[in-house]
Structure 1
């Protein structure tokens, strides 16, 4: 029984309750059926039998009165009671035979009918069938015999009525006892039903309701933060299993909480370390933009002076070394500027406001007007929307994408650049497509990694930071960027930006440079 679940307890309880109710119902039905049967016996048999026995006695008395009056007076009108009595006798006898059929009381009726028949044969019919003088003579002759015969009729009637009266009294007493038994049975049934209902209620309260309340109270305590509160395990097997599962969940929460506390502590340490690292990065950016720029410019200037003054005066190997030094200084300066531009995305340039991309694109095209003319490129674009963002960063985005399309053009055909824009729900989807040399499928994700180059510097100049900067700008504006795999020939870069009516403006961290200096820095960082 310890392993019984709520379903088992309910099944057994319902079965036991139904059994008790079936027994009580059977006893009650038997008591009611017995009371109804005795009542029917009394109403439909005993009482009608006694009533008709009395009617039979009255009919015979009427016959005796009529025959005696006619025998004493000779007047025919005295026979009226006799005639009516004969008809009433037949009716009473017929009713008695009907209600007494199949019982022992028919013997009493037979005795009455025999005595009455003897009297009628010897006295009633001879006197009533004679003329008035003959009736007077016959009545006087048989007066003693008639009295004797009718006394026998009276005795038979008395015996019949006495028996019927006794049987009726017995039936009435039995009915009273059956009624009392029925009432007590129904009362006991009601009491037992009430006791069973109370037991069922108490069993449900102790076996199901209270254990569930304890589990619920423990769960609520855990939800309020009392993770040390153990869940009480009581009740049927399934409720105990539920309590064990909830307690296991509490234990798991305690373990997860301890783990999360440790993780939060480590995260706080890493955050502090990250702040320190960012501070060092800002210091490095400051050094790179100020302290390193001046010595680098001196190295570049003096190597260029050395190249101009002593070019051709030394041997060929010396000229080659000087050329290497000049090229390395220049590339170092470009690389430092690109790294500065990359590090400033989202840190220095963070002035979010409504930006007309159409105007930003036109300014970018003006900036790139010389390379566009030199390559005879055709640039077309759709009307561009207004978005929320940083105008300087979005200008760097357009400039890098358009410059890449111009740089990686196919020498065999005229460059064609197409800028598209369409709204897709809560975002704008932009595309910059060209008919250049394209990007192989296996390199479509690699091109957005900083310093990742697919070509040598001799083939295509640059530092490999342009698309990495585009990815950082787009993600800073809560968008995404990728390569369209279905565009051919050439490359089509697709990126998204939130619409101005759903974009949330982040807090501005300020800018330490003017837009003019930022735009000049963006032009220097072209890859």
Structure 2
């Protein structure tokens, strides 16, 4: 047969029987589906591998590296404080930092096994830390407590250089870990996009194949396809518990099985999501109930402590008045200790009661002129201000919707701290400013006092965190914690301006109207304490 006598492709294809079309279509479809399945399996395996690496290695490694940095910073802070003051309390963070360092290094070693660059970064951090510890930390820690270490002063510059090398090694380590994690995340997103494309192509192919088979082989296939379509529509309408019935030829049964597998997986995912949501709701309810119970317990416990403390204070003061000077000097000293301890405990409990009331008892929102509140506060603090020779100036302050009692407590703590923590031999100068910042009002309270070191800028707002002993500056360590609670209750934030070096500058914001809060628990009101709040 010559080339001109060959049948055209159309005539050649028209001679195929239905079975031949079915076999050819089935073979072609199975081949394509197999390729898509292999590709899909590879994509899924690749996705799982990248996800596991990201979740189990990269992210934990970066987190552990940050903990290692925190442990080394705690060591440096403790050693520096111990070397400057000789106080044994500063050894504790150093020792805890050593324990955390060993744990973090061990964990990083396991996580970075096989990662040569990561292990080299870790070794660089260890070497730099070891040098600093050998030259600075251990010698200063070995110095006797009670007085500043001469070694701290002698090796101050060397210690700074050594720890700067530690910081540099830590920064390089974390930068590499962040880059590795970012690359893993990018790979995961690319693989997921490929996976979606593969499954989309598989879905399109299945639909096209179903349409072709339905058109070409109506007899014996129409009913199974109708059943499959009805089942699919039922599931698509939201009845995910409806099972897909596998009927008809083998290829249609396989198709039905795949759809059933997808449905079951979807049902499992939905059930897991619902279970997770219910657990989260239950945990949130338990946490809310636990917080309410803890607030009730703290209030009642503090309240019940007042009466025995009053009795202890009264009788120790009676002892002091009646027998003072009649006993030996040590007995008088012991009585003074008892009186002072009882009085300080009464002040502390009263401060704790005021702290616990913020947002619960003081919750009367109304229009408050902050100028008037500040003037009343300055009048209440007038004795201390005059004794210190302080001058207080302020900008015109706005009128807000707030709780007037809490606003008074806020100004009393901030102004009182500025007066108290003044430089020896220098009169305090305090300046209060306010400016509109978007939807909030931004306030600053600036003084020329002793200031707050940048490393303590966050710690001073934690309850009971004191930077000085009670012998140097009196107070309970609740003042700034209460300020933080009041400001946040009124929809703002508070912090220390670490860039200001000529004293202390407290910056906080307040919303024109406080955010909506749940009704506070109804508890009996206790006597308010006029005790000055401190840092």
TM-score range with shorter-chain normalisation? 0.5 to 0.7
* Contact 1:207/1:236 (<8 A) preserved: no
The answer on 1:460 being equivalent to 2:489 is: no
Aligned mate of 2:459, from 429, 442, 446: 446
| 3-state SS of 1:354 partner | strand
How big is the shift at 1:266?
4.6
Give secondary structure in 2 for the equivalent of 1:459: coil
Q: 1:424 deviation in Å?
A: 1.5
Q: State the match for 1:351 in structure 2.
A: 364
- Aligned residue runs from structure 1 range 17-166, under 5 A: none
Distance in structure 2 (CA, Å) of the matches to 1:325 and 1:382: 45
> What are the Cα deviations for residues 393-412 of structure 1, in whole angstroms up to 9, with x where unaligned?
11101111111111111114
Q: Residue 283 in 1 paired to residue 296 in 2?
A: no
The offset of 1:259, in angstroms, is 3.0
Are 1:253 and 2:270 matched, yes or no?
Answer: yes
Residues 416, 532 of structure 2: 8 Å contact kept: no
- Matching residue within 280, 304, 309 for 2:322: 309
Q: Which residue of 2 aligns with 1:384?
A: 397
Which structure has more RCO (C-alpha within 8 Å, separation ≥ 6)?
Answer: 1
Instruction: For residue 318 of structure 1, report the CA deviation from its aligned partner.
Output: 1.2
CA distance in 2, matches of 1:382, 1:338: 30
Give the distance between the partners of 2:416 and 2:264, measured in 1 at CA.
63
Which residue does 2:64 correspond to in 1? none
**Which residue number corresponds to residue 188 of structure 2?**
none
1:366 Cα deviation from its structure 2 partner: 0.8
Whether 2:509 is the aligned partner of 1:496: answer yes
Structure-2 change in CA distance of 1:455 and 1:208 (3 Å)? farther
Q: Are 1:422 and 2:435 counterparts?
A: yes
Query: CA shift at 1:445, angstroms?
Result: 0.9
Say whether the 8 Å CA contact 1:381–1:419 is kept in structure 2. Answer: yes
1: CA distance between counterparts of 2:510 and 2:430?
Answer: 20
Determine the structure 1 residue equivalent to 2:497: 484
Contact kept in structure 2, 1:6 and 1:238, CA below 8 Å: no
TM-score (norm 1): 0.54
Contact 1:307 / 1:322 at 8 angstroms: preserved in 2? yes
Q: Distance in 1 between matches of 2:474 and 2:243?
A: 69
Per-residue deviation at 1:209? 12
CA distance in 2 between partners of 1:236 and 1:379 (Å): 86
CA distance in 2, matches of 1:497, 1:235: 66
Do the aligned partners of 1:219 and 1:246 also contact (CA within 8 Å) in 2?
no
What SS does the aligned partner of 2:367 have? strand
CA–CA distance in structure 2, aligned partners of residues 216 and 424 of structure 1: 55
Cα 1:513–1:12, aligned 2, differ >3 Å: closer, same or farther?
closer
Alignment correspondent of 2:154: none
Q: Deviations over 1:272-313 (max 9, x none)?
A: 44444444334324423xxx33x3233223322322333222
Among 358, 363, 375, the alignment partner of 1:362 is 375
Matching residue of 2:355 = 342
Unpaired runs of at least 5, structure 1: 17-197
Aligned ranges 1:170-185 → 2 under 5 Å? none
Q: 1:371 Cα shift?
A: 1.1
Is the 1:427–1:498 contact (alpha carbons within 8 Å) kept by the matching residues of 2? yes
Quick check: 268-277 or 328-337, which moved more?
A: 268-277
Contact between 1:355 and 1:386, CA under 8 Å: does it hold in 2?
yes
Distance in 1 of aligned mates of 2:522 and 2:430: 35
Q: 1:214 to 1:348 in 2, by over 3 A?
A: same
* CA distance 1:247–1:455, shift in 2 (3 Å): same
> C-alpha displacement at 1:467, in angstroms?
0.7
Q: Please give the alpha-carbon distance, in whole angstroms, between the structure 1 residues aligned to 2:226 and 2:505.
A: 67
* CA shift for structure 1 position 525: 4.6
Matched-pair contact (CA < 8 Å) for 2:299–2:353:
no
CA distance in 2, matches of 1:444, 1:227: 55
> What SS does the corresponding residue of 2:355 show, helix, strand or coil?
helix
RMSD: 4.0
CA distance in 1, matches of 2:335, 2:475: 21
Length, aligned pairs only: 332
User: Shift in Å at residue 436 of structure 1?
Assistant: 1.0
1:457: how far off? Answer: 0.7
TM-superposition CA deviations, 1:126-162 (whole Å, max 9, x none): xxxxxxxxxxxxxxxxxxxxxxxxxxxxxxxxxxxxx
* Aligned residues of 2:445 and 2:505 also touching (Cα < 8 A): yes
Report the Cα distance in structure 2 between the residues aligned to 1:421 and 1:240, rounded to whole angstroms: 69
Give yes or no for contact 1:231–1:247 (8 Å, CA) kept in 2. Answer: no
Match of 1:434 in 2: 447
Q: Residues 510 and 359 (structure 1 numbering): CA distance in 2 closer, same or farther, change over 3 Å? A: farther
Match of 2:332 among 311, 319, 334: 319
Question: Does the CA-based 8 Å contact 1:483-1:493 persist in structure 2?
Answer: yes
Is the Cα–Cα contact under 8 Å of residues 6 and 239 in structure 1 kept in the other structure?
A: no
Unaligned runs of 5+ in 2: 1-28, 34-201
SS of the residue 1:450 aligns to: coil
What TM-score comes out, normalization by structure 2 length? 0.53
After superposition, give the CA deviation of every residue in 1:406-461 in whole Å (9 maximum; x if it has no partner).
11111143211111111111111111111111111111111111111111111111
